[in-house]
């Protein structure tokens, strides 16, 4: 197809210029997948997808909601008692002992929309430093500890804001993983295999072996083809994973202007946030990962596209590759 051929030419130039070592990309539309690759990479090569794990986490959670295992407005404290009585900083960058009580419980909906009160503290200060010291701060790798220890450490700190007040990135995804495992009594990997990767025939998408923490924020490895299967299912109304109502909810902006006010550093201009996906002003839905992966789908037109670069998102080459990626929806 012309768009993929044009992208191939653009990315091969970046390889020739030394900006990329290799890349793989693909488009899926009307049940047909087209894959291509360049440099020192192949189209079927797995990669750590970092935050491209998050949309999969959203779909898994909504599937368990559909099955009645939990509800969107359930308080998470019934499964995560560590979060039953959180304290909240009077200002996000302030002293850790200057707190007030939370005005409302943290709910499953708060986790799905990343408005639980914890996450990336863009303001800096003592809380951001404490999260880093305790190794529970946002980052491209899974927490280096067990889920119970992770939650114990996170709950020892105050929230940066009141539950439901402001979008804060990342941390809610890892808490979701602990929640889903506890409420079902099963490992996250088993839940994913039963409800997402199995039904969609995504054999290359899994957690690395022997990890202490199966992170729904950043823990999966995958391939371009597998990512396209997932995205296409979402674009097709949920496919074998979700019902249409849940998928529509997942792909609809859930943030008020006040909640979104702190998100300008991460969300595109005019974009909102659904249930663990970015919802762009042009209607595209998806997300990107800090290891240099990106995937979006156009629910209206049905086209899904993904690109893997195998190098950090903040490198110049990956930034240029991501800019070229959008031509697949042109």
> Rounded distance, CA 319 to CA 325, Å?
10
- Residue 57: partners with Cβ closer than 8 Å, 6 or more residues away: 173, 176, 177, 216, 217, 276
Where the chain has pLDDT below 50, the residues are none
Could you report the per-residue pLDDT of 136-160, keeping only the tens digit for each? Answer: 999 999 999 999 999 999 999 999 9
Q: What is the pLDDT of residue 1?
A: 67
DSSP secondary structure of 249-274: HHTS----HHHHTT-TTTSPTT-EE-
Q: What is the pLDDT of residue 95?
A: 97
- Indicate if the alpha-carbon torsion angle 187, 309, 306, 55 is positive or negative: positive
- The domains of the chain are located at 2-31+47-53+187-194+201-329, 76-178
* Among 122, 111, 86, 217, residue whose Cα is nearest residue 164: 111
Q: What is the pLDDT of residue 330?
A: 81
Q: What is the pLDDT of residue 126?
A: 98
CATH architecture of the domain with residue range 2-31+47-53+187-194+201-329:
3-Layer(aba) Sandwich (3.40)
The residue written with tokens 């859930």 in the block is 254
| CA distance readout (Å), 153 to 82, 245, 270 | 10, 36, 35
Q: What is the pLDDT of residue 170?
A: 97
> Rounded distance, CA 262 to CA 13, Å?
36
> Rounded distance, CA 181 to CA 191, Å?
8
Q: What angle do CA 53, 57, 60 make, to 5 degrees?
A: 135
Q: What is the pLDDT of residue 214?
A: 98
């Amino acid at each position: 197809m012309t768009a993929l051929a044009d992208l191939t030419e653009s990315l091969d130039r970046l390889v020739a210029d030394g900006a990329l070592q290799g890349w793989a990309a693909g488009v899926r539309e009307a049940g047909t997948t087209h894959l291509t690759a360049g440099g020192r990479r192949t189209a079927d090569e797995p990669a750590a997808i970092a935050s491209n794990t998050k949309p999969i986490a959203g779909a898994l959670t909504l599937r368990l909601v559909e099955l009645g295992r939990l509800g969107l407005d359930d308080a998470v404290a019934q499964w995560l008692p560590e979060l039953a009585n959180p304290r909240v900083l009077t200002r996000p960058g302030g002293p850790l002992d200057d707190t007030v009580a939370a005005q409302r419980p943290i709910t499953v909906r708060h986790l799905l929309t990343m408005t639980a009160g914890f996450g990336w503290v863009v303001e800096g200060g003592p809380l951001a430093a404490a999260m880093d010291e305790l190794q529970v701060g946002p980052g491209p790798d899974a927490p280096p500890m067990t889920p119970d220890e992770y939650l114990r450490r996170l709950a020892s700190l105050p929230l940066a804001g009141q539950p439901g007040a402001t979008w804060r990135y990342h941390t809610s995804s890892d808490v979701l993983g602990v929640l889903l495992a506890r409420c079902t009594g099963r490992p996250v990997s088993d839940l994913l295999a039963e409800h997402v990767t199995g039904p969609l025939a995504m054999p290359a998408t899994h957690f690395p072996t022997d990890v202490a923490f199966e992170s729904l924020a950043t823990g999966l490895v995958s391939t371009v083809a597998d990512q396209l299967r997932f995205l296409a299912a979402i674009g097709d109304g949920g496919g074998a994973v979700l019902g249409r109502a849940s998928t529509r909810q997942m792909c609809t902006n859930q943030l008020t202007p006040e909640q979104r006010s702190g998100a300008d550093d991460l969300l595109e201009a005019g974009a909102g946030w659904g249930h663990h996906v970015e919802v762009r002003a042009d209607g595209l839905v998806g997300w990107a990962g800090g290891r240099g992966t990106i995937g979006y789908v156009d629910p209206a037109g049905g086209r899904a596209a993904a690109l893997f670069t195998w190098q950090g998102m903040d490198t110049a080459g990956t930034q240029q590759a991501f800019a070229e990626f959008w031509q697949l929806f042109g």
